[in-house]
Amino acid sequence: MTDMLHRLQTLIQERHATRPEGSYTTRLFQSGRNKIAQKVGEEATEVIVAALGQGRSDQVNELADLFYHTLVLMTDLGITLDDVGAELEKRHTPGADTP
């Protein structure tokens, strides 16, 4: 799973840099950070709806959409999976105040 997320992040970063025509990811970056953040919010809402009343397949699909759009937002913000992983690691080291 982690390897897949890193591969997806690399692809999204490449699309951010090269902006190939016809790419949905390119369209997201061209629409700007506000639209990207809005998409993350929409996908989060769809995850909640799926969790409360849909089957496993829909739940998995919606979660995948949320992961993808979150990675797009992270790329736009210049944040990597390694950055987030380091923060989580800090939170779960002995003596850390964990949530």
Residue 13 belongs to a domain with what CATH number?
1.10.287.1080
Does some domain include residue 96? no
Does some domain include residue 32? yes
Q: DSSP class of residue 55?
A: -
Does some domain include residue 97? no
Residue type, 38: Q
Does some domain include residue 29? yes
How many structural domains are present in the chain?
A: 1
Residue type, 83: D
Does some domain include residue 6? yes
Does some domain include residue 27? yes
Per-residue model confidence as pLDDT tens digits over 7-55: 999 999 999 999 999 999 999 999 999 999 999 999 999 999 999 999 9
Residue type, 35: K
Angle between helices 2-18 and 56-77 (to 10 degrees): 50
Whether pTM exceeds 0.85 = yes
Range of the domain at 85: 2-91
Distance set, CA 52 to CA 43, 55, 58, 64 (Å): 14, 9, 11, 17
Q: Closest Cα to residue 5, out of 92, 93, 66?
A: 66
Q: CA angle, corner 10, sides to 26 and 49, nearest 5?
A: 70
Rg (CA), the chain: 15
pLDDT at 96: 61
pLDDT at 95: 72
